[in-house]
């Protein structure tokens, strides 16, 4: 019965808005897509499915995506469940504009904000005995919780519920006391680790990418897919300070691929998904907006000139950036598009300085760097090919493509270990393996299978590099802790699909072996 009602309602809507999709598309969407992409198509664990968000995906490619699934994402293939006509109807449906787009500006954000604890009610010493810098925050996607783990005793201190579907690395305040989380549906949460207490939450977007915390601890900047905005929050209490409309000179708006804090530059750096530009946004109070080297009084939104906090310095490129990585001084940004084109952008002279060979769809957000024979090098796993690409960061040439058992997602190391650990779970086989690369020989020298048959993913090291923690990425999963030198298992803690884990010290000191 409900199917008939829904179908009839969809037909009425379809006629009302003159849309191209058939009534059944609405039902198909609710049955197969809504759980991940949201009943309203505004995104959930999967991205929003709206014409504005699908600009870089032409309709034939969307049809292939629905049929075959999408590499490096949780998007499954539907060709065994849906016939060609149904797949086409769904593609038409997602390219149809919504009758009206929900607004998510200052007013909506302010109304969503929850202050759980006032600063005055929180003590300024840790309420536990463990080393506050050798803690791990472990995100458990299975039941949307996070665990705070003592990195010396390797025991959980507390476990608490999080918002639904956290994604990207949680980011720490410079002293390591607070951690900030972002969920795919836009919720930003501030948690006081010393007091084991949630401080505040705000919904900063409808479909959010990630967040960055300024190196002076004053600001949180949120990158959104929907709306096309960057949102600056006060790191103290998550009050919204400014919404930056993300548009080019012609008014074309864009999703934000990701935002990072470039600490030595005292600025945030954002890459845009639908406009080939990188934006640098200084949080130094005296900064001026600059456009390709010129001070630029640039217009955005309703045509307001942007002065004051968070001026935008724009660098125009020839190609989009989906994923990127920085050198240790944040002079260079190494970026790639999902199509596999790599480029190096010098942030000081504000232009691309060279193209770079990155064929296997690198996951640069997971790249790491170290010194080889006195030269800085970077290494990145690839989402499409079973390769770790190693690049000389002086010449920007590929030194080696190290063959792995399959395409990987995350690569991690530590200053005190000669090894880099890489997972290979983005392929179809050997997804339970972690491979160990020798950082000097640039060869795979060992492999671990922590739970045969179960996906093994994402490594993070303890503060001193003594232990390496690996996730068993299953609902009845675990954190498997290895001695990083002997590669022997030390301990196993049951967890619910632990995804990323983040060591406070390694993050706030910007260890070259991990993401920042």
Residues engaged in binding ligand DHE (CB under 6 A)? 72-74, 141, 167-169, 210, 258, 365, 409, 458, 499-500, 515
Minimum distance from residue 153 beta carbon to ligand DHE (Å): 22
C-alpha 404: how far from its chain's center?
24
Could you tell me the smallest distance in angstroms from the CB atom of residue 46 to ligand DHE? Answer: 7
* Cβ distance to ligand DHE smaller for residue 396 or 409: 409
Q: State the minimum distance, in angstroms, from the CB of residue 296 to ligand DHE.
A: 27
Measured from the CB of residue 480, what is the shortest distance to ligand DHE in angstroms? 16
To the nearest whole angstrom, how small is the minimum distance from the Cβ of residue 162 to ligand DHE? 12
**Identity of the residue, 95 or 136, whose beta carbon is nearer to ligand DHE in the bound complex:** 136
CA atoms of 320 and 271, how far apart (whole Å): 8
By beta-carbon proximity to ligand DHE, the closer residue of 222 and 347 is 222
**Does residue 252 sit in helix, strand or coil?**
coil
Q: How far is the CB of 456 from ligand DHE (least distance, A)?
A: 13
CA atoms within 13 A on the CB side of 16: 10
Q: From residue 286, give the alpha-carbon distance in Å to each of 113, 237, 282, 300, 319.
A: 29, 23, 9, 20, 31
What secondary structure, in 3-state letters, does 345-387 show? EECCCCEEEEEEECCCCECHHHCEEEEECCEEEEEEEECCCCE
User: Which are the contacts of 419, defined by CB distance < 8 A and separation ≥ 6?
Assistant: 413, 436, 437, 438, 439, 445, 446, 484
Shortest CB 388 distance to ligand DHE, Å: 16
Cβ distance to ligand DHE smaller for residue 177 or 209: 209
By C-beta, is 210 or 254 nearer to ligand DHE? 210
- Find the shortest distance in angstroms from Cβ 458 to ligand DHE: 6
Which residue, 41 or 296, is less far from ligand DHE as judged by CB? Answer: 41
Nearest to 370 by CA among 330, 415, 329: 415
Of 170 and 282, the one with the shorter C-beta distance to ligand DHE is 170
- Measured from the CB atom, is 72 or 444 closer to ligand DHE? 72
Which strands, in side-by-side order, build the sheet including 456-461?
456-461, 467-472, 477-483, 489-495
Let me know: does 147 contact 460? Beta carbons within 8 Å: no
Contacts of 437 (CB under 8 A, 6+ apart): 379, 388, 402, 419, 420, 421, 422, 443, 444, 445
């Amino acid at each position: 019965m409900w199917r008939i009602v829904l179908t009839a309602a969809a037909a009425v809507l379809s006629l009302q808005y003159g849309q191209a999709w058939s009534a059944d598309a609405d039902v198909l969407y609710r049955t197969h897509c809504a759980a991940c992409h949201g009943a309203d198509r505004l995104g959930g664990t999967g991205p929003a499915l709206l014409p504005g968000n699908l600009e870089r995906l032409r309709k034939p490619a969307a049809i292939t995506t629905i049929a075959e699934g999408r590499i490096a994402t949780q998007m499954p293939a539907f060709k065994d469940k849906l016939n060609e006509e149904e797949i086409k109807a769904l593609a038409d449906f997602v390219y149809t504009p919504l009758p009206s787009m929900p607004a998510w500006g200052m007013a909506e954000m302010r109304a969503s904000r929850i202050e759980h604890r006032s600063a005055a009610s929180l003590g300024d010493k840790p309420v536990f005995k463990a080393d506050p810098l050798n803690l791990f925050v472990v995100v458990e996607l299975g039941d949307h919780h996070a665990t705070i783990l003592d990195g010396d005793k390797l025991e959980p201190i507390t476990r608490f519920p999080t918002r639904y579907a956290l994604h990207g690395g949680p980011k720490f305040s410079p002293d390591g006391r607070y951690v900030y989380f972002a969920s795919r549906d836009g919720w930003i949460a501030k948690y006081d680790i010393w007091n084991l207490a949630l401080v505040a939450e705000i919904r900063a977007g409808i479909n959010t990418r990630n967040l960055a915390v300024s190196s002076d601890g004053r600001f949180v900047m949120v990158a959104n897919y929907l709306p096309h905005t960057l949102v600056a929050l006060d790191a103290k209490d998550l009050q919204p300070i400014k919404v930056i409309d993300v548009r080019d000179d012609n008014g074309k708006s864009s999703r934000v691929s990701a935002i990072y804090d470039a600490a030595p530059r005292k600025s945030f750096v954002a890459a845009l998904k639908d406009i080939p530009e990188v934006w640098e946004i200084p949080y130094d109070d005296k900064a001026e907006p600059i456009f390709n080297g010129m001070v630029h009084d640039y217009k955005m939104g309703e045509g307001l000139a942007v002065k004051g906090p968070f001026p935008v310095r724009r660098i125009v490129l020839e190609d989009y950036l989906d994923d990127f990585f920085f050198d240790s001084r944040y002079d260079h940004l190494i970026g790639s598009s999902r199509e596999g084109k790599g480029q190096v952008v010098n942030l000081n002279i504000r232009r691309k300085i060279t193209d770079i060979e990155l064929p296997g769809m690198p996951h640069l957000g997971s790249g790491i760097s170290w010194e080889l024979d006195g030269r800085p090098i970077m290494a990145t796993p690839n989402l499409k090919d079973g390769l770790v690409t190693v690049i000389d960061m002086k010449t920007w040439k590929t030194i080696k493509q190290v063959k792995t058992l399959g395409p990987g997602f995350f690569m991690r190391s530590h200053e005190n270990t000669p090894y880099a650990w890489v997972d290979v779970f983005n392929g179809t086989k050997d997804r339970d393996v972690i491979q160990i690369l020798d950082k000097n020989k640039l060869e795979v020298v060992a492999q671990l299978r922590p739970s045969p048959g179960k996906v093994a993913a994402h490594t993070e090291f303890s503060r001193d590099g003594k232990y390496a923690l690996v996730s068993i990425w299953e609902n009845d999963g675990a954190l498997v802790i290895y001695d990083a030198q002997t590669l022997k298992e030390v301990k196993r803690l049951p967890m619910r699909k632990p995804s990323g884990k983040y060591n406070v010290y390694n993050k706030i000191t910007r260890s070259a072996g991990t993401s920042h």
